[in-house]
Amino acid sequence: MFIDRVKIKVKAGDGGNGVTAFRREKFIPRGGPSGGDGGVGGCVYMESHEGLNTLLHLRYNPEHKAERGRHGEGSNRYGKDGEDAVVKVPVGTQVFDPETNELLFDFTEPGQRYMAAKGGKGGWGNSHFATATRQAPKYHYNGRPGGERELQLELKLIADVGLVGFPNAGKSTLISVISAAKPKIADYPFTTLEPNLGVVDMGDFRTFVVADIPGLIEGASDGAGLGHRFLRHVERTKLMLHLVDVSSLSGRDPVSDYEIINRELANYDADLAKRPQLIVATKIDAMDDPDRLDALKKRAKKDKMPFFEISSVTNKGVKDLVSAVAVALDEITREEAEKAAAV
């Protein structure tokens, strides 16, 4: 099960209390105050891990508590600090304040850490207050409570390439052909109900990650189908492969499909409409009307979009498409490096 939104509650450990105590030892008159300080409460950290790709483990375990600090003791013994709690999340997780919707942290690479709740300070024992004029203080401080809050977690897949298009446009079949991913494939719409990731090996230790985004429909930007949930995963991709079914099996017009998906991307986020895109005509092996392919090709040429035609079943055009994706990603990386250097 793919879970990409979950709400959790984190509670840091309270600080341990200080203590009021006095030395009571033979041959040591007026031993003085000896109350130790309380320990610091443990913090709750969130940490990104490569081995996770869903928030499912947090759906059934929404509360996370760190250990409280131990109380101080006599003979100036300080309380032990509480153990920290670590909440593991997949790379791509964003942490929001559920009340203000403020983005608190964005995990973009493995090993990042975010302090979700800070442990309470330990209280001071009475030995802390002894002075030359106040040699026997009879009071101490209690520990401070640890931080406590609710957090909204949202997962946005981090992939180099995102496959978008209408349901049954051939996205799952393509990702199964070019990578080791094994998504569910069937000849009915909405077969894919959750995003799938695949790693494409280009040889010479070169790879790129492809995300198979479940099919979009008209009105997806307004939440139709599961639009908002799935469009969120396209935001981080560097390049989009816009797959359009040119066979007559869909019963839809390829040019209309192309226009609708681009419109939904723009309505959801204007920047998505400007994202580099390769137009891919799919299922050419089942095409019975060449005019459908020609019309889409003309529209792509009008919009100055690179155009490819493939059949994932027969592998026709797939190798050329993968090579073009690798070249496009190299160009995007180079442009990003130039922009970073110019800043």
pLDDT beyond 90 at 197: no
**Which region among 64-68, 121-125, 338-342 has the lowest average model confidence (pLDDT)?**
338-342
SS3 222: helix
Could you read off the pLDDT of 145-162 as tens digits, one per residue? 999 999 999 887 777 888
The span from the CA of 44 to the CA of 51, in Å, is 20
pLDDT band at 317 (very low <50, low <70, confident <90, very high): very high
Written as one string, the DSSP assignment of 247-284 is SSSS-S-HHHHHHHHHHHHHHH-HHHHHS-EEEEEE-G
pLDDT beyond 60 at 207: yes
In sign, the C-alpha dihedral spanning 45, 46, 50, 56 is positive
The span from the CA of 201 to the CA of 23, in Å, is 71
> What value does the mean pLDDT take over residues 220-232?
49
Domain 161-342 class?
Answer: alpha beta
The span from the CA of 231 to the CA of 270, in Å, is 12
In sign, the C-alpha dihedral spanning 69, 72, 76, 77 is negative
The span from the CA of 264 to the CA of 118, in Å, is 41
**Which residues of the chain does CATH 2.70.210.12 include?**
1-155
pLDDT beyond 70 at 224: no
Both tokens assigned to 201: 């090996």
Write the DSSP symbol of residue 303: T
Q: 1-155: which CATH number, 3.40.50.720, 2.60.40.3880, 2.70.210.12, 3.50.50.60?
A: 2.70.210.12
The residue among 79 and 272 whose pLDDT is bigger is 79
pLDDT beyond 50 at 189: no
**Which region among 72-76, 270-274, 294-298 has the lowest average model confidence (pLDDT)?**
270-274
Could you read off the pLDDT of 14-68 as tens digits, one per residue? 999 999 999 887 776 677 899 999 999 999 999 998 877 778 889 888 999 999 9
Q: Is the pTM of this model over 0.85?
A: no
The pLDDT > 70 percentage for the chain reads: 87
